């Protein structure tokens, strides 16, 4: 890690600083939106949106290189396709709930297929691996600003509508009885997820988006009693994973995205095992001393 | 009790696809009146409640609540479902759950101090103020039901809709809940779906028997034969007497 810290101080290695700053900034959006995605159980929708992004990237690359539309960058293509996928899934989910999973599956695979077809038809050699697995080290100063701006949007909407999102995620039917426009907030949530996925694709690539969106939140869930607490913990956990992942990948010359994901998955696994062991020890101790169990039950008002 | 109708159904029908649940239902419920809704499963009891609170739109006929369409007056209606599907890992406390009852048409922002005060009052009313900071998922079935009723009360409703609130709780908790409902019935209209016929005469003035259409009875009308006609088969009436815990003066 000392090599990594030295490299961060090196003015010739600005890309590493940008990568770290972008990762830390993006952690804020990942923590907030990841929490909503996990508690609303829509990680499969986030997966569909992320895979659809390849379609947008492919079409944009084709328009840029084959048709000469210079303004049509892959970033713009990714942004538009993520939002479009979110809107389609949201509208289908509201209007025809029984077909939601079919549409998600179709968007998931069709988006990728469109992307690969257009990339194949684009003049010159383009490696889809960069988009599939991302490369945080290719982040530029402009990307850092873009991530900061999107952070502001996500933080503002996520906090301003916190109570409404909480109600929609916890008990949609009751929220409707309180005059909450559930469909509007659901689509807004999906669009914000799309924006976050768009950010994540730049950092860890299409394939690994779901892991970084859900693993820090799953870890935070072990230590949280409130949704806001889960968000703050997830942001902190995500920042730690990105910093450590960058450091390890730089020191050991490993690809950064997969290093971050493996690190997050390993920590999650350790915490799951530790919590199982602790609950097993507790239940064993309670069965040995039933008086404790009775006292606990009384304290809990059972 | 005034004879001012707060809920009016005129020739209301409701269907899920080709399956007709409510057929040409007309009824009227007056201000301050408490009504028990009974009937067989699938007869349309829950549908009736969901039409009153605007969750479902009738396929025919008109429904007015306080003279307006239900979704225009939803802030005056408290609703407690029979159960809610929720993620047991969802990080939400009892206080946050009850505060949801204070959500309204305003766009966003935090809850006000008035909202928090109203939530505390309704928790107090239901006798669960000591659970305020507990996780909702850690509660027992009876505690959860009382918290959900507290959530409905936190909006200070004029009508309280309860869908089988005693379905998953034991007789002692049910008896306490009925005490609370009796107290609440003095200041609001209560419509409660229940299969527990034994309590109807103590709290309710009228009984609506719902089996695709609605028949009205006074609480004295409910008999074995009448119930058999409503449910379509013989019904055994069981009168519950809550078990008294020695030393519990209230139940003794």
Question: Does residue A295 fall inside a structural domain?
Answer: no
Helix ranges restricted to H, A100-140: 100-121, 129-133
Query: Mean of the pLDDT values across residues A286-301?
Result: 59
Average pLDDT in chain B: 84
- What range does the domain containing A16 cover? 2-289
For residues B83 and A169, the model is more confident at A169
- Burial of A285 from C-beta contacts in 10 A (0-12 / 13-18 / 19+): exposed
Nearest CB neighbour to B131, from listed A161, A167, A301: A301
* CATH no. for B5-83+158-231: 3.40.50.300
Split at pLDDT 50, 70, 90, the class of B226 is low
Residue B60 corresponds to which tokens in the numbers above?
Answer: 């025919």
Distance in angstroms (rounded) separating the CA atoms of residues A226 and A39? 11
Query: Taking a C-beta distance cutoff of 8 angstroms, is the pair A226, B96 a contact?
Result: yes
Q: Is residue A299 part of a domain?
A: no
Query: Can you give the pLDDT at residue A127?
Result: 76
B243 pLDDT above the threshold of 60: no
Q: Which of A21-35, B7-21, B199-213 has the lowest mean pLDDT?
A: B199-213
The per-residue pLDDT for B5 is 86
- B213-218 and B206-211 beta bridge pairing: antiparallel
What pLDDT does residue A93 have?
A: 83
B242 pLDDT band, cuts 50/70/90, is very low
Residue A99: alpha-carbon gap to chain centroid:
24
Q: CB distance A179–B74 less than 8 Å?
A: yes
Residue A296: inside a domain, yes or no? no
CATH number of residue A48's parent domain: 1.10.3470.10
- For the stretch A83-136, pLDDT in tens is 999 999 888 888 876 677 888 888 899 999 999 999 999 988 777 777 887 778
Domain ranges of chain B: 5-83+158-231
Q: What are phi and psi of A68, to 5 degrees?
A: 85, 15
Per-residue confidence at B222, pLDDT binned at 50, 70, 90? low
Residue A77 lies in a domain: yes
Q: What angle do CA A154, A55, A73 make, to 5 degrees?
A: 70
* Cα(B184)–Cα(B153) distance, integer angstroms: 10
Check B81 against A174: CB less than 8 A apart: yes
pLDDT at position B250 is 45
Q: Is residue A37 part of a domain?
A: yes
Q: How far is A103 from chain B (nearest CA, A)?
A: 23
How far apart CA A115 and CA A130 sit, in angstroms, is: 13
CA triple A100-A106-A112, angle to 5 deg? 140
For B74, which of A170, A177, A227 is closest by C-beta distance?
A: A177
Question: Nearest chain A Cα to B49, which residue?
Answer: A177
pLDDT in tens, B50-96: 999 999 999 999 999 999 999 889 889 999 998 888 888 999 999 99
Q: For residue B108, which residues of chain A lie inside 8 Å, CB to CB? A: 160-164
Please check whether residue A294 lies inside any domain of the structure.
no
ipTM of the complex: 0.84
Q: Which residues contact B235 (CB under 8 A, 6 or more apart)?
A: B224, B227, B228
Interchain CB distance below 8 Å, A178 and B111: no
Predicted confidence band at A170 (pLDDT cuts at 50, 70, 90)?
very high
Alpha-carbon distance B15 to B58, whole Å? 8
Residue B244's pLDDT is 47
The predicted-structure confidence for A245-257, as pLDDT tens digits, reads as follows: 999 999 999 988 8
Convert the pLDDT of each residue in A195-245 to its tens digit: 999 888 877 788 788 888 999 999 999 999 999 999 999 999 999 999 999
Cβ partners under 8 Å of residue A233, min gap 6: A31, A219, A220, A223, A224
3-state secondary structure of B186: coil
Instruction: Give the confidence band of B225 by pLDDT, cuts at 50, 70, 90.
Output: low
Given a cut of 60, whether residue A300 has pLDDT beyond it is: no
Four-CA torsion A20, A26, A32, A36, nearest 10 degrees:
-120
A227/chain B closest Cα distance in angstroms:
6
pLDDT at B251: 42
Strand, coil or helix: B88: coil
Measured over the CA atoms of residue B126, residue B131, residue B137 and residue B142, the dihedral's sign is: negative
Distance (Å, whole) CA B41 – CA B27: 20
In DSSP notation, B232-246 reads: SS--------PPPPT
Q: Is residue A301 part of a domain?
A: no
Tell which wins on pLDDT, B200 or B6: B6
Instruction: State phi, psi for A222 to the nearest 5 degrees.
Output: -70, -20
For residue B241, pLDDT beyond 60 = no
Count of the separate structural domains present in chain A:
1
Q: Smallest CA–CA separation between B79 and chain A, in Å?
A: 8
Each residue's pLDDT tens digit, B139-192: 988 899 999 999 999 999 999 999 988 877 778 888 888 888 888 988 899 999
The closest alpha carbon to B116, from B98, B93, B104, belongs to: B98
In A, minimum Cα distance to B77 occurs at A177
Calculate how close chain B gets to A169, using CA atoms only, in Å.
9
- Residue of B103, B141, B145, B155 best to disrupt the A interface, most CBs of A under 10 A: B103
Does A163 score more than 70 pLDDT?
yes
pLDDT at B233: 61
First-to-last alpha carbon distance for chain A, in angstroms, is 51
């Amino acid at each position: 890690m000392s090599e990594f810290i030295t490299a961060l101080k090196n003015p010739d290695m600005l890309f590493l600083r940008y990568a770290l700053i972008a990762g830390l900034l993006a952690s804020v959006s990942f923590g907030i939106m990841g929490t909503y995605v996990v508690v609303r159980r829509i990680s499969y929708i986030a997966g569909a949106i992320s895979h659809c992004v390849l379609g947008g990237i492919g079409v944009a690359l084709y328009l840029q290189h084959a048709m000469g539309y210079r303004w049509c960058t892959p970033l713009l293509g990714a942004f538009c396709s993520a939002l479009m996928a979110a809107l389609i899934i949201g509208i289908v989910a509201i209007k025809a709930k029984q077909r939601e999973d079919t549409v998600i599956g179709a968007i998931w695979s069709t988006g990728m297929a469109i992307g690969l077809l257009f990339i194949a038809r684009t003049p010159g050699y383009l490696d889809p691996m960069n988009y599939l697995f991302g490369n945080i080290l290719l982040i530029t100063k402009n990307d850092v600003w873009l991530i900061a701006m999107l952070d502001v949007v996500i933080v503002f909407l996520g906090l301003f509508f916190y109570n409404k999102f909480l109600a929609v995620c916890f008990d949609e039917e009751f929220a409707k009885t309180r005059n909450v426009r559930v469909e509007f907030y659901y689509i807004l949530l999906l669009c914000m997820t799309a924006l976050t996925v768009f950010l994540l694709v730049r950092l860890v690539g299409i394939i690994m988006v779901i892991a970084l969106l859900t693993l820090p939140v799953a870890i935070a869930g072990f230590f949280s009693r409130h949704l806001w607490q889960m968000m703050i913990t997830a942001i902190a956990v995500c920042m730690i994973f990105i910093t450590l992942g960058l450091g390890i990948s730089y020191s050991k010359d490993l690809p950064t995205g997969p290093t971050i994901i493996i690190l997050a998955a390993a920590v999650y696994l350790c915490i799951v095992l530790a919590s199982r062991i602790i609950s097993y020890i507790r239940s064993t101790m309670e069965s040995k001393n039933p008086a404790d169990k009775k006292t606990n039950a009384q304290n809990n008002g059972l | 009790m005034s004879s001012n109708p707060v809920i009016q159904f005129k020739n209301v029908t409701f269907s899920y696809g080709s399956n007709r649940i409510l057929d040409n239902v007309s009824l009227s419920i007056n201000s301050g009146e408490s009504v028990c809704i009974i009937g067989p499963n699938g007869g349309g009891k829950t549908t009736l409640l969901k039409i009153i609170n605007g969750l479902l739109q009738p396929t025919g006929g008109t429904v007015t609540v306080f003279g307006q369409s239900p979704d225009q007056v939803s802030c005056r209606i408290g609703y407690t479902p029979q159960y809610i599907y929720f993620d047991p890992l969802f990080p939400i406390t009892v206080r946050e759950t009850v505060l949801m009852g204070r959500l309204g048409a305003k766009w966003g922002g935090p809850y006000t101090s008035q909202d928090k005060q109203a939530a505390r009052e309704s928790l107090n009313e239901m006798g669960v103020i000591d659970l305020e900071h507990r996780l909702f998922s850690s509660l027992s079935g009876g505690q959860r039901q009382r918290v959900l009723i507290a959530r409905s009360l936190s909006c200070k409703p004029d009508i309280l809709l309860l869908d089988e609130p005693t379905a998953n709780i034991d007789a002692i908790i049910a008896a306490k809940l009925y005490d609370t409902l009796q107290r609440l019935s003095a200041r609001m209209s209560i419509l409660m779906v229940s299969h527990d016929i034994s309590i109807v005469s103590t709290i309710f003035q009228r009984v609506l028997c719902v089996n695709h259409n609605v028949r009205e009875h006074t609480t004295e009308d409910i008999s074995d034969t009448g119930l058999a006609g409503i449910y379509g088969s013989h019904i055994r009436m069981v009168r519950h007497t809550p078990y008294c815990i020695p030393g519990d003066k209230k139940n003794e």
